[in-house]
Amino acid sequence: MALRSVNPATGELLESFREQTAKEVDAAVKQAHQAFISWSGLAMERRSAPLRKAAAVLRAEKTALARMMSEEMGKPVLQASAEVEKCALVCEYYAENGPSMLQPERIASDAADSYVRFDPLGVILAVMPWNFPLWQVFRFAAPALLAGNTCLLKHASGVSRCAARIEEVFRRAAFPAHVFTALRIGSAQVEALLARPLVRAVTLTGSDAAGRAVAATAGRQLKKTVLELGGSDPFIVLADAPLSPCVASAVSSRMINNGQSCIAAKRFIVVRGIYSRFRSAFTAAVSALKTGNPLDESNDLGPLARADLVDELERQVRASVRGGARVLTGGKRIKGQGFFFQPTVLDGVQPGMPAYDEELFGPVAALIRAADDEDALRIANDTAFGLGASIWTANRKKAQALAARVEAGSVFINGMVKSDPRFPFGGIKMSGFGRELSSYGIKEFVNIKTVVIS
């Protein structure tokens, strides 16, 4: 079966890739294991050097890489350029800080000496999504490689061009052969791949359905798993919130990457006293957004990545409207070539509607009125997801008290939820488990080994 790369702005086929056979995948696993034996034996300073080179390669190729992302999955080109820069930053961050994070930690005891060391696990499989086709890979690969593991990438089939270019970046950065390998396989091969003994762990970013499938397979094999899944992040606006920066952040938070982000704000929970003013300003700002060719820097939004995503988003909007929600702006697919959907605001969203209960993966915002601060917190936690949350108020003490009670992996006060190499990133509930980035992320795929000398 061929892996197809399609331009979502036009619907045209960009390229087809032959899927690798099970025999070819088995050979790739063995080569990655052989590479691990030598790679893991290098001093961490030796492993840091190619990470720094990878950052330089990314910056040198930023324009071309950004254009490729825009053509293959529809990301606005300026956002794609920023994504490349972020990948370079995460490589530099771990090249600089990773070695100290993995230094042995002495523990006081009655022994002559006792300490914990952090040893690599081996071959790690990464199952990655299409929406941030470079960043999702580099934020996993940089710490995993620095720690001494080798990586196999099973990327989303629709971004096979991106997968090939990522492998090329690592090769040009002078990583040894087979330390990082991009496989050309579909989802049907993942279960058999995970069952191979030389694959020691797996990380997945994707839907909760994909996470369940991979976690079940990994569980049968007793293999370490990190999952970063969907989100329906609350954006909580309290009565004393600074309206202008709040609305600007709300628009950016919802519409980044054409609304196709796990940590995008999706449910805008606004306290009664400021609801009307926020609704008016937010709707006006969303209405002013320009949708079109993602390579045109004047456009704010591009297409959704696939035709079926437009179909699903349209179903969710229609069902929510039938349930009583009101469309303030947008609400429909854009006719013509490509997979475009109007930037949309839904008012009066209530439990039982898809806009309340499900993740909306596209440029649709759900407005929900809260009676007061406590009601806003209740609504924020009334979801199966728990990835990120944003709280807006002039009262920092109040915000911190609420942040402690929000059920999410990250809470940003008066700011937009985002991933940052310095902070651990991940979720709870149906948003997954485990952490990426920071010192917590680099230790997910190591053997935390106790050594005691009597």
Catalytic, out of 91, 262, 407, 436 = 262
Tokens of 76: 């606005």
Distance between alpha carbon 446 and the CA centroid of its chain, in Å? Answer: 22
The residues near 24 (Cβ < 8 Å, ≥ 6 apart) are: none
- Which letter, b or e, does each residue of 3-26 get, where b requires 16 or more Cβ atoms within 10 Å of its Cβ? bebbbbbeeeeeeebebbeeeebe
Q: Which of 83, 92, 228, 358 does the annotation list as catalytic?
A: 228
Cα(240)–Cα(225) distance, rounded to whole angstroms? 42
CA distance 34 to 439: 27
> Tokens 């990583």, residue?
175
Burial of 122-141, coded b for 16+ CB within 10 Å and e otherwise, reads bbbbbbbbbbbbbbbbbbbb
Extract the tokens encoding 134: 């470079």
| Rounded Cα gap, residues 269 and 285, in angstroms | 17
User: In degrees rounded to 5, what are phi and psi of residue 34?
Assistant: -60, -40
Contact 360, 346 (CB under 8 A): no
Q: Is 19 a catalytic residue?
A: no
Is residue 444 flagged as an active site residue? no
Residues whose CB falls within 8 Å of the CB of residue 143, separated by 6 or more in sequence, listed in order: 94, 98, 436, 437, 441, 442, 445
- For residue 43, give the amino acid letter: A
The CA distance from 51 to 38, in Å, is: 17
Residue 436 in tokens = 């990426």
What is the helix (H) or strand (E) element at residue 245, kind and residue range? helix 243-255
Burial grade of 176 (CB within 10 A; 0-12, 13-18, 19 or more): middle
Tell me the catalytic residues. Answer: 228, 262
